[in-house]
Each structure stands twice: as C-alpha cells, then as structure tokens.
Amino acid sequence: MKLLCLILSFVVIKAMAQPNCNAYLYYGDTLKYKACTIAEKRQGYYQFSKEYQKALDEALAVDPTFAFAYEVKSTAYLKSGDFVTWFQLMNKAVALDPKEHLPYRGWCRYQFFRDYEGAIQDIERLDSLSKYDIGYSVNAEYHLHIARALCYKFLGQKQKAISIIENQLKAPNYNPGLFDYLHLGVLYWQENDLERAEASLIKQQEINDLAENRYYLGRVYLLQQNITKAKEQLQTAKEKYLKESRMTDPYTVHADKIYMKDIESALKMIQE
Amino acid sequence: MRAIRILSIMMILAMAQCRTQKSESEPRGSVGDIVFDPQTDDPNFSLCGSEEYLFQYFNSGKGIAIEGEKKGLEQQLFALFKNTKFKNDGYVRIRFIVNCKGESGRFRVLTSDLQFNENKMPSTVTEPLLKACKEIKGWKPLIYNEKARDYYQYLTFVIVDGQLKEILP
C-alpha cells in the first residue's frame, strides 16, 4: 500500500505541477502572479503547439524570473531531440531556482542524453542543497540516488553504484522502486557475485516481475552451470517478452533492458 | 500486496500513455516541425496524411518502432562506424519524418558539443551519419485508431573521443 501511495503522490505532484498563482499574490509578488496566470492559458493545449509555447513566452515577457515557465517550455524541445534549446531553457530555470529544477535537468541528462557526468553533478548538487529526501525522477520510476548509481555504473564505477543502491534500499521509509533490485542484481552479476545476484533478481520478481529479471537470473544460473534452472528462467523471460511484460518507455530505453535477440542468444548457449 | 504492485505498475503505464497520447496530432507551427524544402528534400518522399498534422514517435507509447528492434538498429550502425574516427566530439541529432509506408524523408541535422552548446560540425562528421540515417530500412508506421500514420522520429549520435558512443533515444 505504501508503494501505491508513494507512486500516486508523485503522479499527483506532476499532474499539479502548475504553481498556485494565488500563492504569489499572498506573498506580495504581483509580477509573478501575473506571469503565472498568463502561463495558465497554455492548459488544454499540447506541449508542442504554438498556443502552449506562446502562453509561456508571454508569461516570461512579463516576468523573466518565472523559473517554472522555462522548465515547462523546455519539455517539447527535449522530446523533439532539440538538446540545444532544451538545455538553454533548463539552465535558466536552474539558475533561478536550483532546488526546484535540478531534479528534472539531472534526470533528463541521464535518461535522454546519457550525460552521466552531468546528471551526477546535478543530482549531487541537489543533494547538497536539500535537507530532506531528494525525490524521484519525473516519470516516478526511479529515486534520484538510484539514477545516480546507474550513472556511476556506466562510468565504470560498478562498486560505487552497488554501494549507492544498497544504501538507498536501507534508507528509512524507502520503498524499493520498480527496477531497483533488477539493476542491483545485474550489477552483482557483472561483478561475478552470483549469490547476491540471484537473491536480488528473485526479490525483483516480488516487486515487478519482468522478462528482464528472468533473463538475468537465467544468465546467473548459466554461470553456476545449473542448466535446468537457466533454461526455465530464459523460457519464462521469452514468454514475458512476448506478452510485453518487459521494460518499456515511450521516449527512451531503460538501462539493463533486454531484447528478444538477447534471450535467443542465451537459449542458444544452452543448446550448444 | 502483489495485486497492489501490479495495479501500481498499470497506473504508471497508464500515466505514461496520458503524457504521450493526444486526441489529435498537433498542427503545423509546433516545436520541431519540418516543412518541405525543395532545395534539400527528396520530392519523391510524400506523406500519407495531411501536412498539417503529424504524430511524434513517442505517441505509440513504445519508443522506437523498427524491424529488429532498437538493438538491431544499434548493431547495424555501430558496425558501420566501428573503424571511424570522428574529428569532433559532441551530439549530432538527425530528425526526420517516417510516413505511413515506413519510408523516411526530410532529414534535419542539429549539432552541439558535449556541453550542449550549438556548433557547426564539419560535414566529415555529419555527412556519414546523415547518409547512414537515410539508408535505414524497416521503420514501422505509427498506428493510431487502427490507421497507419506519418510521424516524426529522431536519432541522436553521441561522439566521445572521436568514437560513436551512444545512439539515442
């Protein structure tokens, strides 16, 4: 139930991302109040549309320090692959309000651009500025410390990545994310710590049972030369893959995602 | 507990759909639009639907749609550039349209350094990537309301130390 509440809370936060304009009025910032109400005109329009972008341009013309408008304006550029405009807009948002906008910039640098160093810098800066938990990725799938761990992994620092994930899983009141144990299991497997890899991947089954955890578990059993168990897991991975019970993202590709070719190659290894 | 977890996952997927689905594709004048340029674009490439309304690749909710999946595309492109030493590091994005028949056209190039500062990379870097993009076969059309649609797709090439390191998204 905790996990559901957590996910819902983040979904709600993102759905209600438009600030309460009256709050600016309450604090006496009439300029930001005006910009905020103008930005509301974008609602009902698609992010890429002229109307959506124009409402935000008008809001920024009234108050160029309205950081929220830069971030929401940037999203269409991010999704269209225009990293130049996206980054310029996000730099403005972060310069004006780092605590509020570093989570989005840091996460997107990882998810969309595989800019591991940049993502680490943003998340670690956010951590240094935050008294409380630094929170989750914009799609609510990852705690930002888990994302940071994956960046270290892709920079070749696998032990550091393991340590960050282990610490996050031990953090008080932390509920494991949708893929935490999968990534941890893969890291253990890559580091040849097969017992821990097996335990993590089995734990993943309880949280979010996908083709990916079954595939990597099959690979662990292959290394342990337990052919029967390996075959069983790889067959299950294949079934799950065909039923689309696998890592899927509308925009990008998850770390440790597998494809049918991977499963078939592993099954071929058994036959040989 | 298991049921709650499954429900949670379904809700996340549903939210992903909410973020990406739209009742209609967006009209021209939107971010990232590519208008036909007779100077550079193939006149034989045509859209199946209206010029005014095109989808985006992520509207399917499933990412890149190509025969052999993204892994096949990566294997093909990494093999092609395995021995290529590029002169510049940075990001090279090639945005284009895939029509309802799976044909591609109207390619546009954007380049930057690794800090996302726009630059003009030499054609020795961009041309081979552009040529490779144009030769990619197997794009799948985007299906919406049981009809194949035209859509925008892009590929971003990340070059580090002169080597092709990533193919995104």
SS3 A237: helix
Q: What is the pLDDT of residue A272?
A: 75
Which of chain A's residues have a Cβ under 8 Å away from the Cβ of B168?
112-114, 252
Higher pLDDT, B10 or A211: A211
Q: Best interface-test mutation with B: which of A253, A260, A262 has the largest number of B CBs within 10 A?
A: A253
Q: Best interface-test mutation with B: which of A57, A80, A142, A256 has the largest number of B CBs within 10 A?
A: A80
In chain A, alpha helices (H)? 2-15, 21-26, 30-39, 50-62, 67-80, 83-96, 98-111, 116-129, 144-154, 158-170, 180-190, 194-207, 211-223, 227-242, 260-271
Q: What is the mean pLDDT of residues B4-14?
A: 45
**Amino acid identity, position A207:** I
Paired tokens of B75: 């294997």
Least confident of A207-216, B3-12, B127-136: B3-12
Q: What is the pLDDT of residue A17?
A: 65
CA distance B38 to chain A (A): 23
Question: Would the pLDDT of A191 be above 60?
Answer: yes
Q: Is the peptide bond before A19 cis (omega within 30 degrees of 0)?
A: no
Q: What is the pLDDT of residue B28?
A: 60
Pairing of strands B163-168, B90-98: unpaired
pLDDT digits (tens, 9 = 90+) for A52-61: 999 999 999 9
Q: Do A48 and B58 touch (CB under 8 A)?
A: no
Question: Would the pLDDT of B21 be above 70?
Answer: no
DSSP string of B52-79?
A: S-BEEGGGGSS---BTTHHHHHHHHHHH
CA distance B96 to chain A (A): 10
Q: Rounded to the nearest 5°, which phi and psi values hold at B111?
A: -130, 155
Q: What is the pLDDT of residue B51?
A: 86
Question: Would the pLDDT of A153 be above 60?
Answer: yes
Which of chain A's residues have a Cβ under 8 Å away from the Cβ of B118?
84
Q: What is the pLDDT of residue A55?
A: 97
Q: What is the pLDDT of residue A144?
A: 98
pLDDT digits (tens, 9 = 90+) for A4-45: 334 434 443 343 468 899 999 999 999 999 999 999 999 999
* E strand or H helix at B11: helix B2-20
Question: Would the pLDDT of A234 be above 60?
Answer: yes
CA distance B11 to chain A (A): 9
Question: Would the pLDDT of B23 be above 50?
Answer: no
Q: Best interface-test mutation with A: which of B5, B8, B53, B160 has the largest number of A CBs within 10 A?
A: B8
Prediction ipTM score = 0.90
Q: Do B22 and A248 touch (CB under 8 A)?
A: no
Full-model pTM = 0.89
Which of chain A's residues have a Cβ under 8 Å away from the Cβ of B110?
81-84
